[in-house]
C-alpha cells in the first residue's frame, strides 16, 4: 500500500529578479515527493538520475520515507538539467538550457514491490512514459493524478490523448487548459477536458490560485499571500504533491468525496506557499504539521465572509 | 444624504477577440453609478459631457435615481472618447484613441444640494480634479473611495500623493499597486500604500479576483467564473460601484466594520461579473436583487471548505 510518484529527479539552475543559482536539486518528482511526504509515510519513486546526482540527497529522500527501489542510477550518464530565467513578474519564465541526459531514453520499470500502489502521481514527463507506468500496474490504482504541459500538446498530441483516457485527475495551468480544450472560458475548458478522460480537472494559476472542476461543480482556492516570493520553481509540483498526499492519507480513513478534493486543493496551496518562499525545494525540507495547520487556518480566514 | 459619484461619462469603442463596436456608452462614472444604483436609491453625479451625449441615456440615469444637477453639458463640445483593443487573453489591452474633449479642462463644481454627501466615490480622473471635489465639500464625507491609474503615477505624482492623503479607500490594480509602492509583494505594497493615506487598499486583479487590506489584515475574493466573458470594459468601475454602493446602503443601518468591507468586495465582484458578460454597460441595466443574492451565494460556495 503506497503512493507511487513518477517524475524527474534532476538539477536546475534558476535566475529570478532576486536570486541566481548554480546547479541545485530540482525535478518534478523531487518537489512532489517532498511535499507529499508531509502527509504520507510511505512513498515509492520511479525515476532516473545520473552518476552526478548527490548520494546524500538520495539518503535524505529515504529519511523522508521514500523508497528508491524504482530509481534507476545511470552511473555513466548525467542527470536531467534545466535552467530558466524568470521575468520581472515571476509569472512567466524563459528556458535557457534543457539537457535531457538520462531522460532522453527513460524507460520506467515498475518494481514488483510497487505493484500494491493505491495512488499514482504522474509528474510531467512524455505521455508515453506516463502511460507505460499505468499499464505496467496489474491492478489499477484507486486514484491516478497526472500533470502535463503545453510541450506535449505541441509534440505528442495522440499519445497525450491516449494517456488522458486512463487518469482520474489532470493538473494543468490555465494557459494549457485553454490550449488543450480550445476554449477561452476556464469553465468550458474544464468541461471539455473531462470528456477527454479525467473526472477531475485542476487548473493551476500560480500566484492567482487554483480551481478544481468535477462535472459542473467547481471550487476555487487562492494562493497564499507570501510576504516575499523568492523562487516559484516547483510550486506547481509541490501543489500536486500536497494535493495527492493529503488525499492519500485521508483515503486510509474514509471514502473520498469532492468536498475532500476541495480541502486537498487548499493543502496543495499551503505546501506551494512554503515552496516559493525559499530557493528550489529548500522550503520543503522541514515543514511541521503545525505549520501546515496554521497556514490552512489562514487560507480559510482569507476567504470567509 | 447621498452617495456622490465623480468620474467620466463618455463614449467607448471596444474591440475584443469576440466583438467590435462603434461608439457605445462608457465612462468610469457610468459603470460606477449603474452598479451602485442596484444598492442605493439616491446617487449624485458630478461629471461633464458634450452635446453629442444621448439625452435618452441621461433620462435612463435619472430613472435609476441618479441626480444630474452636477452634470455639466457643454453643448458645443464633444464627450470624452476612448477606444481600445483587448489582447487574446482579455487581461490586457491597447489604447487606440483617447480624445479628451470635454475632459481637457474639466473643472468640477459641487452643487450646494450635494453638500450633504455621506459617501464619495472618485472615479479615475486627474488627481487635481479628484482633490478639488474633496476640498469643495464643507463637511468631510464618512467614506471617500478613490480609483486611480498608472498614468497619474507617471505624470502627476505629487498631486496624486496630495490626494491620497485625503481618502479612506484606494482601489487600484495589482500592477499599479506595485508601481505606486515600489514593492513586488502585494502584501508589502498594501502596507506601504496605507502609509500614503488610505486606511483600506483594494487591489483589483481582473479575472483573478480582488484583495482588500486593512493594517495587516486582508481578505481575498475570487472573480466569478463566467461561462463567457464578452467584454471586460468597465469591470473595475462596476466593481467599485458595487463595493461602495453596498457599503453605503449598509451604513444607513449600522456601523461598518472590516467584515462588512469583505462582503462589499464580494458584492463588487458579483456586479463586475454581470458587467463582463455583456457588451459595455448593457449587463448592468436590469440586474435584479435576486440575481445579486443568487450570485453572492455562488461566490460563498466557490470558496467554502
Q: What is the pLDDT of residues B202-247, one digit of tens each?
A: 999 999 999 999 998 999 999 999 888 999 999 999 999 999 999 9
Q: Tell me the three cell numbers of residue B303.
A: 470558496
Q: Quick one: pLDDT band at residue A296, thresholds 50, 70, 90?
A: very high
Task: Write out pLDDT tens, residues B94-118.
Answer: 999 999 999 999 999 999 999 999 9
The reported pLDDT for the residue numbered B88 is: 85
Q: Quick one: pLDDT band at residue A287, thresholds 50, 70, 90?
A: very high
Please report the DSSP string for A102-134 in residue order.
GGGG------GGGTTEEEEEE-SS-HHHHHHHH
- Whole-prediction pTM value? 0.93
Q: Quick one: pLDDT band at residue A189, thresholds 50, 70, 90?
A: very high
The reported pLDDT for the residue numbered A13 is: 97
Q: Among residues of chain B, what percentage have pLDDT more than 90?
A: 95
Q: Quick one: pLDDT band at residue A193, thresholds 50, 70, 90?
A: very high
Element (H, E) at A265: helix A258-276
The reported pLDDT for the residue numbered A305 is: 87
Range scoring the smallest mean pLDDT among A49-58, A80-89, A188-197: A80-89
Which of the residues B213, B228, B243, B305 would you substitute to probe the A interface, choosing the one with the greatest number of A C-beta atoms within 10 Å?
B305
Is CATH 3.30.300.30 the classification given to domain B2-303?
A: no
Q: Quick one: pLDDT band at residue A16, thresholds 50, 70, 90?
A: very high
Q: Quick one: pLDDT band at residue A92, thresholds 50, 70, 90?
A: confident
The residue-averaged pLDDT of B116-127 equals: 97
| pLDDT at B294 > cutoff 90 | yes
d(CA B292, nearest CA chain A) in Å? 16
The answer, for A260 touching chain B at a CB cutoff of 8 Å, is: no
Burial of A188 (C-beta count, 10 Å sphere; 0-12/13-18/19+): middle
Q: N- to C-terminal Cα distance for chain A?
A: 40
The residue-averaged pLDDT of A226-247 equals: 96
User: What is chain A's mean pLDDT, rounded?
Assistant: 96
Strands laid side by side in the B117-122 sheet: B66-74, B43-50, B2-6, B117-122, B143-147, B169-173, B200-204, B210-214, B217-221
| pLDDT at A56 > cutoff 90 | yes
Q: Cβ contact (<8 Å) for B220 and A218?
A: no
Task: Write out pLDDT tens, residues A106-158.
Answer: 999 999 999 999 999 999 999 999 999 999 999 999 999 999 999 999 999 99
ipTM of the complex: 0.89
The reported pLDDT for the residue numbered A18 is: 85
**B282: which residues sit within 8 A by CB, 6+ positions away?**
none
Size of interface A-B (CB pairs under 8 A): 73
State the CB neighbour count (10 A cutoff) for residue B74.
17
Domain chopping of chain A, boundaries: 2-303
Task: Write out pLDDT tens, residues B172-214.
Answer: 999 999 999 999 999 999 999 999 999 999 999 999 999 999 9
Q: Tell me the three cell numbers of residue A253.
A: 480513513
- Using a CB-CB cut-off of 8 Å, the residues of chain A touching B221 are 303
Q: Is-contact A102 A77, C-beta < 8 A?
A: yes
- Using a CB-CB cut-off of 8 Å, the residues of chain B touching A211 are 225
- Using a CB-CB cut-off of 8 Å, the residues of chain A touching B222 are 209, 220, 222, 303
- Using a CB-CB cut-off of 8 Å, the residues of chain B touching A304 are 303-304
Q: Cβ contact (<8 Å) for B220 and A222?
A: yes
Amino acid at each position: 500500500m503506497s503512493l507511487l510518484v513518477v517524475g524527474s529527479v534532476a538539477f536546475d539552475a534558476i535566475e529570478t529578479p532576486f536570486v541566481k543559482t548554480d546547479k541545485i536539486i530540482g525535478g518534478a518528482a523531487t518537489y512532489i515527493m517532498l511535499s507529499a511526504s508531509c502527509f504520507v509515510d510511505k512513498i515509492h519513486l520511479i525515476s532516473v538520475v545520473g552518476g552526478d546526482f548527490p548520494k546524500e540527497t538520495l539518503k535524505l529522500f529515504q529519511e523522508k520515507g521514500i523508497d528508491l527501489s524504482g530509481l534507476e542510477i545511470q552511473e555513466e550518464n548525467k542527470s536531467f538539467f534545466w535552467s530558466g530565467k524568470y521575468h520581472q513578474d515571476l509569472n512567466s519564465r524563459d528556458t535557457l538550457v534543457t539537457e535531457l541526459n538520462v531522460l532522453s531514453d527513460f524507460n520506467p520499470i515498475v518494481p514488483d514491490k510497487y505493484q500494491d500502489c493505491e495512488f499514482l502521481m504522474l509528474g510531467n514527463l512524455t505521455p508515453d512514459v506516463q502511460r507505460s507506468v499505468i499499464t505496467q500496474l496489474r491492478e489499477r490504482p484507486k486514484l491516478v493524478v497526472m500533470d502535463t504541459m503545453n510541450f506535449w500538446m505541441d509534440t505528442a498530441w495522440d499519445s497525450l490523448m491516449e494517456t488522458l483516457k486512463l487518469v482520474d485527475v489532470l493538473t494543468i495551468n490555465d494557459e494549457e487548459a485553454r490550449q488543450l480544450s480550445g476554449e477561452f472560458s476556464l469553465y468550458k475548458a474544464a468541461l471539455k477536458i473531462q470528456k477527454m478522460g479525467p473526472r477531475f480537472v485542476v487548473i493551476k494559476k500560480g500566484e492567482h490560485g487554483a480551481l478544481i472542476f468535477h462535472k459542473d461543480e467547481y471550487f476555487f482556492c487562492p494562493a497564499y499571500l507570501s510576504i516575499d516570493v523568492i523562487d516559484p520553481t516547483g510550486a506547481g509540483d509541490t501543489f500536486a504533491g500536497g494535493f495527492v498526499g493529503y488525499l492519500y492519507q485521508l483515503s486510509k480513513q474514509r471514502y473520498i468525496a469532492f468536498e475532500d478534493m476541495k480541502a486537498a486543493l487548499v493543502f496543495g496551496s499551503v505546501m506551494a506557499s512554503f515552496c516559493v518562499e525559499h530557493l528550489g525545494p529548500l522550503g520543503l525540507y522541514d515543514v511541521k504539521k503545525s505549520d501546515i495547520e496554521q497556514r490552512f487556518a489562514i487560507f480559510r480566514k482569507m476567504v470567509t465572509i
